[in-house]
Amino acid sequence: MIIKFQKRLVLKIAAGVVLTSFGYAGVAQKKELTDEQFFKGNFKGIIQSLPTVASWTDNSHYLIIKDGKTYIGDAVKGTEILQETTPTVQASSKTTVFIKGKDVFARLNNADVQLTNDSILEANPTLSPDGNFVAYTKKNDLYTVNLATKKETRLTADGSDVILNGYASWVYMEEILGRATAYKAYWWSPDSKHIAYFRSDQSMVPEFIITDAPGLHGVVEKTRYPKVGDPNPEVKVGIVSPEGGSTVWADFNQKDDQYFGMPYWKPDGNALLVQWMNRLQNSLIIYEINNNTGAKKEFYSENQKTWIDLDNNDRVHFLSNGKGFVLQSDATGWKHLYYHDLTGKRINAITAGKFTVTDVNYIDEKKDIVYFSARSRENTARKDFYRVNLNGKNLQRLSFGEFNHNVSVSPDGTYFVTNYSNVSSPPRLALVSNKGKVLKELGDSRAADFDKYTLAKTEFIRVKSDDSLYDLPMKVLWPANMDTRKKYPVLISIYGGPNAGTALDTWTLSGTQQFYAKEGLIQVVMDHRASGHFGKEGVNYMYHNLGYWEMKDYTTMVKWLIANGNADPAKICITGFSYGGYMSCYAVTYGADVFTHAMAGGSVTDWTLYDSHYTERFMGTPANNPEGYKTSSVLTYADKYKGMLQLVHGNIDDNVHMQNTIQFASRLQDLKKDFEYMTYSGGRHGWGGNKGFHFQNLKTKFIYKYLLEKVVPIGLLK
């Protein structure tokens, strides 16, 4: 056995000293990865698929899929029984609804029933809770159809290109309700007696024109898109019967400069809770709306010095026993849970401290126990699973070890299955009791040959911020067989936005990344103080000041890599898309003394060019924060640009308009600066197909030309 020893390096990290080695004490019989593994990502024999827990069938049984076969797991007995045959599918009374062609269909008793039949496209069909009606929108009006009689009822009558009933405007879909809603802006009451909906008047919202060049005359798209300071859509909140009749309007003045968040029906359906927020987005009031009169009364309120997120669909969790609800709030600087009664009065805090609750997984109302996931109190780069009494006592961590945990909880909270890993440990699956006892290992993604191959080393590192307030997280994939006498180019992949961290202590394995490590590239994912690791307390640093703190913390980590990690200061490349594109452009302008190269896609280059709700949440308006808009703009620092930048954008990006890239490119041209530039016809905020492969190849070629200074291996191109 031949063993190679390499000099150890002392890494001064956070509050302690950690000894590590950039090279492996490699043993001769270890195998190197093959081209099949590098270029095609075929890691068969090294890594295998984990079993999948498809669902819990009851409080102690779960369906687990292994190698394409389904087993019934028994959490009590610890057994798994193969389902030899697929159970006979019996006629189900459960109805599902969908669009086929342009019409609404229902699947009832395994048969498809057509409910509408016209030439107009319907959208977002939703079944009423009692199964008697389907609601949907058509030409921006709200309709229902009775399943028994197939009678269609038009609930609104003024829908047009600028009046939207039950259908969201662009900015509400993108920033408040969420893309998953597919523009749906109506909500059934639990008792099926009412439908709440938004009526949006966007006639005052400026149109943004997008063009592309296919065919003979090209195409033109027009979108009502409010940029910062522009008028927003005027929204009214209505309540209507599914059988028709007059709408009851909630008592708001639609002319006020305001936003409405996702509404909540009270469990009995007797009142609607509407989230209201001012244009500055620092005051949230939840109003209780009377279904019959539209009268409102304050149910809950919250104010912050910076902003409050409105796009929080999980803010309220009602208890089915009617005793109250659990509310999530980050008003203390950390997102926590609070117990309120049904009048909105707070009873007590359920969680507290310097950690962030991410999900409420289950509430055991009989035992008054809340099960929740949170960024680990021990390591913010991991997620852990906890239980706590509803009165805030007896907090207990249920997940185990130094791992990141993603859990699936049984219906009564007695058991949970966790998928867990960290940077050095591939994912495993385990069944655990609600006392935190591991009952059974269900799967391991390490295959038989895992220990026979040499993989480049990944480490999770903490670097102290310049002001010593935060231990900044960084995930580093070091070059294979690293020689501490050499300098290596660095590729930093980031997103960078507020509360949008990506540096997590989780396992990753990619053929391309492993090949880059073999080629001698240091690959890094890093997060700043406002990325979410340090709660709202950290995110608040970005208020009226986008760009500055991200770049300050990124610079600190890069300087650490140069001083301690053999990074080549002449080859520091950063890459990202969307907000990550913004940070990449900002890095080679404002941060050009540290960052030498960048690849930027779909980039915001000046925040006056992005939408009202997202941008003003953090930046205010150009009228009340002119200096902030100036210092956050890439255009402001274009004269500092040096090195090399690759700018990429989709021609018909309706989210971050190509206008951003065009204006930055124009500024660089006026300054006679060199850069690379590529656009993609038909590309929106991302694109696939061969254009997607072309984009990947473009970045690969950039890395080889400027960082590795080698010819691109043929197998690496898509």
Whether residue 205 is predicted with pLDDT greater than 80 in this model: the reply is: yes
Stretch 330-353: mean pLDDT: 96
Are the CB atoms for 151 and 244 separated by under 8 Å? Answer: no
Report, in angstroms and rounded to the nearest whole number, the Rg of the chain calculated over CA atoms: 28
Band of pLDDT at residue 39, cut at 50, 70 and 90: confident
Which positions ≥6 away from 34 have C-beta within 8 Å? none
- Which run of H or of E encompasses 612? helix 612-619
> What is the identity of the amino acid at 40?
K
In this predicted structure, the answer to whether residue 139 has a pLDDT above a threshold of 50 is yes
* 212 has a pLDDT exceeding 70: yes
| Burial of residue 255, with CB atoms counted within 10 A of its CB: 0-12 exposed, 13-18 middle, 19 or more buried | exposed
The third-level CATH classification (topology) of the domain covering 91-286 is Methanol Dehydrogenase; Chain A (2.140.10)
What is the SS3 assignment for 484-509?
CCCCEEEEEECCCCCCCCCCCCCCCC
CB contact set of 485 (below 8 Å; sequence gap of 6+): none
Distances (CA, A) of 179 to 52, 157, 174, 653, 655: 27, 26, 6, 15, 12
E strand map for 314-397: 316-318, 325-329, 336-340, 346-349, 357-364, 369-375, 383-389, 396-397
C-alpha 1 chain-centroid distance: 48
In the chain, the N- to C-terminal Cα span, in Å, equals 39
Arithmetic mean of pLDDT over the chain = 92
| DSSP, residue by residue, 679-715 | EETT-BSB--HHHHHHHHHHHHHHIIIIII-SPPPGG
The answer on pLDDT for 478 being more than 50 is yes
pLDDT tier at 109, thresholds 50, 70, 90:
confident
Query: CA–CA separation, 223 vs 654, rounded Å?
Result: 8
- In the chain, list all ranges with CATH 3.40.50.1820: 9-30+454-716
Res 314: pLDDT: 83
The predicted pLDDT at position 202 comes to 97
* pLDDT of res. 88: 45
Q: Above 70 in pLDDT, residue 97?
A: yes
Instruction: Answer whether 244's CB lies under 8 Å from 153's CB.
Output: yes
The structure tokens listed for 565 are 């990690």
What SS3 state is found at 380? coil
Taking the C-alpha atoms of residue 102 and residue 427, their distance in angstroms, rounded to an integer, is 43
**Residue 40: band (very low, low, confident or very high) from pLDDT cuts 50, 70, 90:** confident
Q: Is pLDDT above 80 for 231?
A: yes
User: Fold for domain 9-30+454-716?
Assistant: Rossmann fold (3.40.50)
Residue 481 pLDDT greater than 80, yes or no = yes
Beta strands in 24-167 (DSSP E): 52-56, 61-66, 69-74, 79-82, 96-100, 103-108, 111-114, 122-127, 133-138, 141-146, 152-154, 163-165
* Cα gap 473→466, rounded to integer Å: 14
What's the CA gap between 174 and 108, in Å, rounded?
33
95-112: average pLDDT: 91
CA angle 623, 627, 628 (to 5 degrees): 90
What burial class does residue 149 get, using C-beta atoms within 10 Å of its C-beta: 0-12 exposed, 13-18 middle, 19+ buried? Answer: exposed
* 620 vs 265: CA distance, rounded Å: 31
3-state secondary structure of 288: strand
| Helix, strand or coil, per DSSP, at residue 584 | helix
DSSP structural state of residue 596: -
Between the alpha carbon of residue 56 and those of residues 60, 65, 241, 284, the distances in Å are 8, 12, 36, 37
d(CA 102, CA 562): 59
C-alpha dist (Å) from residue 31 to 451, 459, 515: 9, 21, 14
Q: pLDDT category, 322, cuts 50, 70, 90? A: confident
Pick from 153, 138, 151: nearest CA to 99: 138
pLDDT at 627 over 70: yes
- Kindly state the percentage of the chain with pLDDT values over 90: 88
The residue to which tokens 């930027």 are assigned: 600
pLDDT > 90? residue 54: no
- Token digits for 587? 């890095």
Secondary structure of residue 35 in the 3-state scheme: helix
Residue pair 138/121 in contact (Cβ under 8 Å)? The answer is yes
Mean pLDDT over residues 89-97, rounded? 67
Edge-first strand listing for the sheet containing 404-409: 404-409, 415-422, 425-433, 438-444
Q: Which amino acid is at 42?
A: N
Mean pLDDT to the nearest integer, 363-377: 95
What does the pLDDT read at residue 114?
93
Which of 319, 364, 321, 354 is CA-nearest to residue 339?
A: 319
Read off the pLDDT of residues 415-447 as tens digits, 9 standing for 90 and up.
Answer: 999 999 999 999 999 999 999 999 999 999 999
Task: Scan for tokens 């290109």, then name that residue.
Answer: 161
Look at residues 498, 482, 490 and name the one whose alpha carbon lies nearest to residue 524: 490
Tokens of 377: 């109190």
Half-sphere CA count of 531, side-chain side, radius 13 A = 27
pLDDT at res. 337: 98
Return all residues near 250 (Cβ < 8 A) that are at least 6 apart. Answer: 236, 237, 238, 239, 272, 274, 287, 289, 294, 296
Q: Three-state SS for 462?
A: strand
Alpha-helical segments (H) within 218-304:
none
4-25 pLDDT, tens digit per residue, is 323 333 333 333 333 333 343 4
Q: Write out pLDDT tens, residues 285-303.
A: 999 999 999 999 999 999 9
Packing angle, helices 579-587 and 548-564, rounded to 10: 60
What is the reported pLDDT for 23? Answer: 40
- CB distance 142 to 131 below 8 Å: no
pTM value > 0.75: yes
